[in-house]
Amino acid sequence: MSLIRPLLACGRKLTALRWVRFCVVGGAATLCYLLLGLLFVSLLRWPVLVGNGLAYVLSFAVSYLGQSRWTFAGSSQAASPRTRLPAFALTQLFGLALNSALIGAFTGLGLAYELAMPVTAVLVAVVVYVLCRFGVFRQSAGAGEAAGRAASAAGSVHAEGRREG
């Protein structure tokens, strides 16, 4: 029992970091993509680009909901699905095109799909994070400053609470 409390505190601190939340949500979406892609291509024997594309599209829902509701929930555009959803969809379409091009290139060079897929997934994830962080869910200068002040105030309150306790 004494180990549980520090582990929970560590988990709360880590999930307070945006890039950790992005990795958690992206990991869940990527896991969906990987498992579905392997199911469609390796087990069901669908053509590579068809199975890979469908797996990528199906993982979109996991990614969008997690990134918009959790990872970037505090961004200035988080309250505006009219601008966020189309921009996120375009980012994902670009990710799909990049993903398909890389899968096609790697398998065309003779690399097995099962090896090409994880390498491609990591490369595409990095590109999509950059596009989401600085494009789709970017904060305006005022929103970033307000978030920084709120985080500082929360840290001060938390530190004062520790001194009292």
Rounded distance, CA 37 to CA 20, Å?
A: 25
Which residue type occupies 101?
Answer: A
Q: What is the rounded CA–CA span in Å between residue 161 and residue 151? A: 15
Q: Are 25 and 63 in contact (CB under 8 A)?
A: yes
Grade residue 159 by pLDDT with cuts at 50, 70 and 90.
very low
The string of pLDDT tens digits covering residues 32-60 is 999 999 999 999 999 999 999 999 888 88
| Tally of CB atoms within 10 A around 80 | 11
pTM over 0.85: no
